[in-house]
Chains A and B, each alone.
Chain A
C-alpha cells in the first residue's frame, strides 16, 4: 500500500442511467375490533419488513435493511398509513448509514406517514449516520388528521467515529388537518455554508428531535424548557409549537449523550 492512492483520472465509461436501487416499503394499518392489523406489509430491494409482537391494541413493525443502504444513486421510499383508529409502532433494526457507493450522485430517502382520524403512530427509527463522502437527501412528510396522535424520534449523526460527515440534506414537513404545523430543512457537510458555525451546530455532531402531536396539548400547552446546561455533554430545548404539538431539539457530541438528553426531555418506552 502506498500513500499515493490517487484515483485514476481516466473517465469512467458512460452509463445511460445513474446506478442505484429503487425500492419502496409499504405499511398499512387498520383497526379491527380491539386490535390493529396490517393488511399491507411489503418491501422490495433492501427493505425487509417484520411483524413484531403486538403491544395491546398496537401493531408493531420493524424495518430491516438487508443491504447496506442508502448508497449514492439509490431511491428509497417508505410509505406508512395508519387508518381510522389504528395504532401503529414502527422501528428499524439498526442504524441507517449513508455511504458513497459507486457514484457521487445523491441518494434519496423519503418517508411518508399518513394518520387518519383517531389514529396513533410511533415512528422511532434508529439513527441516520452520514458517512464521509456520502450524499443523501432525506425527507419525512407527515399528514395528520385533526384527531390523530404522533410520536416521532429522529437522530442524525454527522460522520462515523473520527471522520467528517458526507453531504446530508433533510426536510421535515408536518401538516395537520391540511395546514402546515412544522417545516424544517437542514443541510450539513462539505459545501453547506455555515452548518458547523456558532449559529447552527457549532462542534456538535449528533442532532436529535422528538415531535409529539396530540390534540390534548391544545388545552394544556407545555412551557418551553431547557435541558443540559453543559455544552460539552449537549443541550436541548423543549418548545411548544404554534399548534397542539411540542418539539424537542437536542444537540450532543455523540449518540449516547444525545439519547440521554432526549430521554430526559421525554422518555419513550
Chain B
C-alpha cells in the first residue's frame, strides 16, 4: 500500500495533458447552460454520475488486473461520440507516457505496444494505479476527481469565477465522489465473474451532443 502515490497520480500538475481539456464545460458555457457557480455545480454533478462513474468503473477494473484490451472494447461501447473516443485516446496516450516514466512497469509497456495510437484514458489511469501499487478503489477515486476537477478549473478561466467558490463546488461534491468511486469499485469486483458488462455505462446525451459541437468549433480555448 502506497497511498501517497495516489496524490501524485491525481495531482493536476501530473504532466498528463488534462489542463488542455474542459470535459465539456467550455461548450456548456458557450451554450449558456453553465453561467455561474450553481449551474457549474449542476453540470459537475451530472458529469460525475455519468462520464465520471463510467471512467471510474473502467479504471477500477484495470487496477484490479482485468485485461486492458477487453476494457478498451468496453470503453468504446460506452463512448458513442467519436469526438469523445478521440479525446479519451489522446489523453490516454499522454498519461501513458507520464505514467511509464513515473512507475516503469511491464503492463504499461505492453499496453503502449498494443495501442500505439493511444488507449482510453481511464484504462491507462487504472493500469498506472496498479503499477503504482494502488488499489482499484484508489483508481476509482482518481477518475472521479478528475472527471469534475478539470471542468471546474476550466470554468474558473472561462467565466472568471472566484477560485474559492469553484473549490467549494468540488468540496460540496466530495461525498458524491466517494459514493461514485465506491460504486465503481464494487462493479469492478464483479468483472472477473461477469465480464465488462458489469461495469457502469451511464450516458449523458448532452455531453455527447456538445462534444461533437465543440469538435467543429473554430474559436475555442480548450481541446474538448
Contacts and interface: CB of A to CB of B under 8 A. Distances in A.
Contacts of B78: 183-184
Contact of B206 (A174, A184, A199): A199
B188 to A, nearest CB: 15
B33 A202 contact: yes
Given A180-B74, A199-B28, A239-B82, A251 B209 contact: yes
Contacts of A193: 45-46, 48-49, 176
B202 A239 contact: no
B205 A194 contact: no
B223 interface: no
Contacts of A182: 77, 80
Given A237-B212, A240-B82, A180 B197 contact: yes
Interface string A89-119: 0000000000000000000000000000000
A200 B200 contact: no
Contact residues of B: prevailing secondary structure: helix
B209 A249 contact: yes
A11 interface: no
B76 A200 contact: no
A200 B82 contact: no
B209 A199 contact: no
A180 B73 CA distance: 7
B85 interface: yes
B45 A171 contact: no
Given A180-B77, A180-B196, A185-B201, A197 B46 contact: yes
A222 to B, nearest CB: 10
A231 B46 contact: no
Interface string A26-63: 00000000000000000000000000000000000000
Main secondary structure of the interface of A (DSSP, over half): strand
Contact of A198 (B28, B51, B82): B28
Given A180-B73, A185-B202, A237 B47 contact: no
A240 B50 CA distance: 20
A237 B197 contact: no
Chain A contact patch, size range: 35 or more
Contact of A224 (B45, B81, B200, B206): B81
Interface string A186-201: 1100001111011111
A268 interface: no
A198 B201 contact: no
A242 interface: yes
Interface residues of B, number: 44
A180 B198 CA distance: 12
B212 A226 contact: yes
A236 interface: yes
Given A194-B42, A226-B213, A200 B205 contact: yes
Given A226-B213, A242-B76, A198 B42 contact: yes
B83 interface: yes
Given A184-B80, A198-B28, A199-B207, 17 more contacts: A173-B197, A179-B73, A180-B77, A186-B202, A187-B202, A194-B45, A198-B46, A199-B44, A199-B50, A224-B212, A226-B209, A239-B82, A242-B76, A242-B85, A243-B76, A247-B80, A249-B209
Interface of A: 171, 173-174, 179-187, 192-195, 197-202, 204, 207, 224, 226, 231, 235-237, 239-243, 247, 249, 251
Interface of B: 24, 28, 31, 33-34, 39, 42-51, 73-74, 76-83, 85, 176, 196-197, 200-209, 212-213, 215-216
24 contacts: A171-B201, A174-B77, A179-B73, A180-B74, A182-B77, A183-B74, A183-B77, A184-B203, A185-B203, A193-B46, A193-B176, A198-B39, A199-B47, A200-B204, A202-B206, A224-B83, A226-B212, A226-B216, A237-B213, A243-B76, A249-B205, A249-B208, A249-B209, A251-B209
